[in-house]
Amino acid sequence: MVFIKEPVIIDTDPGIDDALAIIFAFLTPEIDVKALTLTHGNVGLDAVTKNAVTLLHAVHEQRKHLGEPSSTLPVLAIGQSKPLSIDLVDATYFHGKDGFGEIYDELHPAPDNWEAFLDSENSDLKETTWFTASPRDAADEILHQLAHAPPLTVTICAIGPLTNIALAIQRDPVTASRAKRIVIMGGAVHVPGNTTPYGEFNFRADPHAADIVMQTTQGFQHSTQGYERRLALLKENKQAPQHVVLVPLDGSNDGTISKADYDNYIVPLGKSTPLHGFINAFMRWSFHICAAHYNLDNWAVFDAYAMFVLLEMIKDKGDGKNNEDFDKHWKYEYLDMAVETEGRYTLGQCCIDRRSWRKNQVPWHQQANAVQVITDGDGKRFRKALLATIFNAKFVNE
């Protein structure tokens, strides 16, 4: 059997847990990171852009350090600086003013002259760059990638507010529905929010965008029949129901690494490689904040957990088959979900239609949204995969 990597677009607002998710993706052989598309979120878009460029530089330096042949450079596209309809919010309370735990002054300076590399028309820098600057904005880059790949082959991993994804859907719903699936870190389904009583950060930061994305699941069926229907609709140039996999707070609280893991496996690596030096710079902050503000000695790495769910799901092409391993380790349900966009207290809340009689009244899948929501996971597998992939940790006695 030919080994095919999963083409993945990561829509992101780095962000320290975004950084771990992205590095995890780059180091995972089954994943081919085609593009990073950037959104406002944890910090403003300028800081997000600086962080993404610095992160990609560390990944590139790591490749050089390992003597790996240079592969195609990932595309970087800058997206929206604010939500669709509400005022901007950020999460500097957790990620620091720069979004990376205030690393730039001493711990890890940004690459020299990094802003010049964002100019997609500057051919003088072609030989020395470490990413391909997109001439398009993030939403158009997503559409461009989906339009130039076979239908239902490219996965989007969305680990920030969903503004870019919603804009892509608004601009061209048919092309947007060519995505194989969209794996999203966001929402609080059966538990309280983390930013407000009902709002998880990514959904609260752009509830209108989150709602637009949830609405694309109307009519989705995770079956052979559903998959063939999606393909047939796309062939007729019609919008197909989207497969949205939601990794909400309740499904990802298990996705932690501990301070002991950090001390045992990560700190000793110091600056032994370009990537470990970079990671050690920003991770120091996360454990400091977890201890100082939340009295926690472990850190829920939500975005990396969503990336792990994506990896665990790769064998399923969207028809629900080859899912046996996934089903052993993960619990999920298909929910008729919308997102609150008007509430005074409930902005960004996941609103589930729990009226079971409605399902019997008319064929449910014809009128309801069907978001595949991860409700329980496997934090142990995640922790081992993350530590082994990024830090070469060996688990002799665990």
Q: Cis before residue 377, ω within 30 degrees of 0?
A: no
Q: Which stretch binds Ca ion (CB under 5 A): 152-160, 204-212, 217-225, 283-291?
A: 152-160
Give the list of residues 6+ apart from residue 65 with CB closer than 8 angstroms, or none. Answer: 273, 274
Nearer to Ca ion, 95 or 276 (CB): 95
Return the SS3 of 38: strand
Q: How far is the CB of 163 from Ca ion (least distance, A)?
A: 12
Nearer to Ca ion, 15 or 320 (CB): 15
Give the list of residues 6+ apart from residue 335 with CB closer than 8 angstroms, or none. Answer: 189, 352, 369, 370, 371, 373
- Regarding 340 and contact with Ca ion (CB under 5 A), the answer is no
Q: How far is the CB of 79 from Ca ion (least distance, A)?
A: 13
Ranges of H-type helices in 120-273: 138-147, 163-171, 173-176, 201-205, 207-215, 224-235, 249-252, 259-261
Nearer to Ca ion, 65 or 97 (CB): 97
Among 6, 9, 10, 15, binds Ca ion (CB under 5 A): 15
Q: Is residue 382 within 8 Å of 255, Cβ to Cβ?
A: yes
Measured from the Cβ of residue 271, the count of other Cβ atoms closer than 10 Å reads: 12
Among 53, 159, 184, 307, binds Ca ion (CB under 5 A): 159
Nearer to Ca ion, 38 or 311 (CB): 38
Q: Is residue 14 within 8 Å of 22, Cβ to Cβ?
A: yes
Q: What is the DSSP letter of 395?
A: -
Q: Round to whole Å and give the CA distance between 202 and 187.
A: 7
Q: Round to whole Å and give the CA distance between 78 and 98.
A: 17
DSSP string across 79-98: --SS-SSS-----HHHH-TT
Q: How far is the CB of 152 from Ca ion (least distance, A)?
A: 25
Position 224: which residue type? T
Q: How far is the CB of 211 from Ca ion (least distance, A)?
A: 19
Q: Which stretch binds Ca ion (CB under 5 A): 146-154, 157-165, 241-249, 265-273?
A: 157-165
- Regarding 255 and contact with Ca ion (CB under 5 A), the answer is no
Q: How far is the CB of 190 from Ca ion (least distance, A)?
A: 21
- Regarding 318 and contact with Ca ion (CB under 5 A), the answer is no
- Regarding 378 and contact with Ca ion (CB under 5 A), the answer is no
Q: Which stretch binds Ca ion (CB under 5 A): 140-148, 158-166, 224-232, 353-361?
A: 158-166
Task: Kindly list the distances between the CA atom of residue 390 and the CA atoms of 15, 24, 218, 393, in Å, as whole numbers in the listed order.
Answer: 17, 6, 37, 8
Nearer to Ca ion, 52 or 266 (CB): 52
Measured from the Cβ of residue 50, the count of other Cβ atoms closer than 10 Å reads: 21
Task: Kindly list the distances between the CA atom of residue 52 and the CA atoms of 57, 127, 390, in Å, as whole numbers in the listed order.
Answer: 8, 20, 18
Q: Which stretch binds Ca ion (CB under 5 A): 18-26, 30-38, 75-83, 309-317?
A: 18-26
Q: How far is the CB of 303 from Ca ion (least distance, A)?
A: 5
Q: How far is the CB of 28 from Ca ion (least distance, A)?
A: 18
- Regarding 16 and contact with Ca ion (CB under 5 A), the answer is no
Convert residues 283-312 into a mask of x (bound to Ca ion by CB under 5 A) and - (unbound): --------------------x---------
For residue 333, the Cα-to-chain-centroid distance in whole angstroms is: 20
- Regarding 165 and contact with Ca ion (CB under 5 A), the answer is no
Q: How far is the CB of 91 from Ca ion (least distance, A)?
A: 8
Among 6, 11, 18, 140, binds Ca ion (CB under 5 A): 18
- Regarding 160 and contact with Ca ion (CB under 5 A), the answer is yes
- Regarding 212 and contact with Ca ion (CB under 5 A), the answer is no
Nearer to Ca ion, 13 or 141 (CB): 13
- Regarding 11 and contact with Ca ion (CB under 5 A), the answer is no
- Binding interface with Ca ion (CB under 5 A): 13, 15, 18, 159-160, 303
